[in-house]
Amino acid sequence: MRLSRPAALLAVLMLVALALTACNLTDREETLPTATPTIETAGKPIVTIMSPVNGSEARVNTQVLITANVRDDVGVTRVQMSANGVPVKTSSSSEPNGDKEKNWVLDFTPLVTGDVQVQIIAYRNAVASDPATLTVKVVSVQATTTSLPNPGVTQGPIINPNDPTCRAVPTTGLNFRSGPGTNYGVLTQLGTNSVLPVVGRLGDNSWYQLNNFGSLGWVAGGFVNLYGSQCVSVPVIQAPATATQAPSATSQPTSTNAPTLIPSSTPGTPDLVITLFEDLDMENDDIILVIPAGQTEVVGEFSVTVSNIGSRRSDQFVLRLKTGRDTAEETINIGNVPRDGAASFLMEYTFIAPGDYILEAFVDSTNTVSEINEANNKSQIVVKVIQGS
C-alpha cells in the first residue's frame, strides 16, 4: 500500500518520537546507579565525658573543669556545655573542617550550692550529637578537705583549660606510690591542690605514672581527674616485675634496694609550663578586641604565668607571643624561675585586621633550657578582633 505524502510524513514523525523515547529510557537507566549521594552521609557526633565522674563534688565560686572526648567521622566544629539548661560555655574548633577526635576541656563557675545538671553537645555544623550528661554536687566546702593531711590552699589548683599537657588532679588525699598497686611503697601523699604531669599509664588506665617535681610515682586512676588534649597519647608503661616492699624495723635498706624511678639524666632538671594565659579585659570567657573607628589596629594586653614544676631553677629563656595569621611576634627575656615557683608577665600583642586569631604563648621558644618535658611549652587562646563603627 502506498501512503499519501501527508500520511508518510506523519509516519516518519512517529518513528522519530519512538526513537527519542527509547534513547531517554536508556539514558535514565544508565544514570540511575551513579546518582549523586547526599552531602551528609555520616552519623551524629559522639560525646563521652571523661572527667569528673558523675556525682563529684565542687566548691561554690570555684572553677569546674569538664573534659569530654568528642568523635565524628567528618569533624566536630563546635562544642556547647549547659548547666541546668543554661548555656555556659561554647568552644569552636580551630581546624577548618573540624576535629575528628579531640578531648575538649570546658569550664564554668557555679555561683550557688546544690546539684547542677551538666550537659555537653557536639556539633558538626548543624548536626548535633546526643547530649552527654553528669551531675555535679556544688557545696560550700568539700567534705574531703577535712581528711587531708595537708589540705593545701583554699582556692584550689590553677588549671589552664587551654594547656594541652596531660595533667592529673587528685580528687582526695592520695598515696603517691613507687609502682602501680597498693603493694608498692608510698613515696609521699598528694593533696587536692596538686597538679602533676602524666607521663605514663597502665593499659587499662587503672593507674597513672606522674612526675612529682622530678620524682616519678604512681596513683590510682579512680581518684584523679585528667586535663589536657594530650591525655589520649600518654604511653603505656610496663609495671615493675617486683613490688617495692616497705622496709622492716630491723632491716638496713640501701638505695640499691629500691627501683630506679628516674633516669640519671633527669635529676636537677627544670620543667617550664604555662599555667595561666588570659586577656586582662576578658569578659564571659570570650576575648573580643575592638579596633577603634578610623584606626587600623588594636593592642591587646595579656597575662602569662610561667611555672617551673621541675627539680631545679631554670636558666634564662625567651617568652614569645605569636599568631598563625601573620609574621609579627612579641618576645621578652626572662631571667629564671625557681624550682616549684612561678612568675607572671604582662605582654602586649598588636592585631592589624579584624578576624578570629589563635594567639599562642611559647615558653623557652629558643630551646635554651634543657627540660624534663619539651612538649608542654605552649598554650593557646582564641582572640576575636572586630572593627568598631
CATH of the domain at 287: 2.60.40.10
My answer on whether 131 and 227 are in the same domain is no
- The rounded Cα 342 to chain-centroid distance in angstroms is 22
- 149 in the same domain as 134: no
| Residue 41 placed within a domain | no
| Eight-class DSSP state of 283 | B
Beta-carbon contacts of residue 163 (< 8 Å; ≥ 6 apart): 227, 228, 273, 274, 275, 376, 379
Q: What is the pLDDT along the chain (389 residues), one digit of tens a residue?
A: 555 666 666 665 666 555 555 455 444 444 444 433 434 446 899 999 988 888 888 887 777 888 888 999 999 988 888 888 887 777 777 777 888 988 888 888 887 788 999 999 999 988 999 999 999 988 876 444 333 333 333 345 666 666 778 888 887 778 899 899 888 888 888 877 788 899 898 887 888 999 888 788 899 887 888 877 777 778 888 887 654 444 433 333 333 333 333 333 334 688 888 877 887 665 556 788 999 998 999 998 888 888 888 778 888 888 899 987 777 888 888 877 887 777 777 888 999 999 989 888 989 888 888 887 777 788 888 888 999 88
DSSP H stretches of helix in the chain? 5-31
Which pLDDT tens digit goes with each residue over 307-327? 888 778 888 888 899 987 777
Together in a domain, 240 and 326: no
Same domain flag for 83 and 67: yes
276 and 372 co-located in one domain: yes
Q: Do 303 and 235 fall into the same domain?
A: no
Q: Could you say which of 122, 139, 156 is where a domain stops?
A: 139
Residues 217 and 234 in one domain: yes
DSSP annotation string for 206-249? SEEEEEETTEEEEEEGGGEEEESGGGGGPPB-PPPSS--PPPPT
**Is residue 132 domain-shared with residue 153, that is, in the same domain?**
no
**CATH code (residue 236):** 2.30.30.40
- Quick check: helix, strand or coil at residue 26? helix
> In this structure, what are the phi and psi dihedrals at residue 19, rounded to the nearest 5 degrees?
-65, -40
Residue 169 is assigned to a structural domain of this protein: yes
Q: Note whether residue 324 is domain-resident.
A: yes
Together in a domain, 117 and 168? no
Residue ranges making up the domain that contains 147: 143-245
* Residue count of the chain: 389
Look at residue 343 in the predicted model and tell me its pLDDT: 78
* 173 and 213 inside one domain: yes
> Which pLDDT score is estimated for 130?
94
**The predicted structure's pLDDT at residue 315:** 84
- 116 and 165 both lie in a single domain: no
pLDDT of residue 291: 92
Residues 157, 120, single domain; the answer is no
Q: Name the 3-class secondary structure at 44.
A: coil
Look at residue 90 in the predicted model and tell me its pLDDT.
Answer: 77
Domain boundary among the residues 196, 226, 245 is at 245
Which tens digit of pLDDT belongs to each residue from 30-63? 444 443 343 444 689 999 998 888 888 888 777 7
pTM: 0.36
Looking at the domain assignment, is residue 266 inside a domain?
no
Identify the pLDDT of residue 34: 40
If one counts the domains in the chain, the total is 3
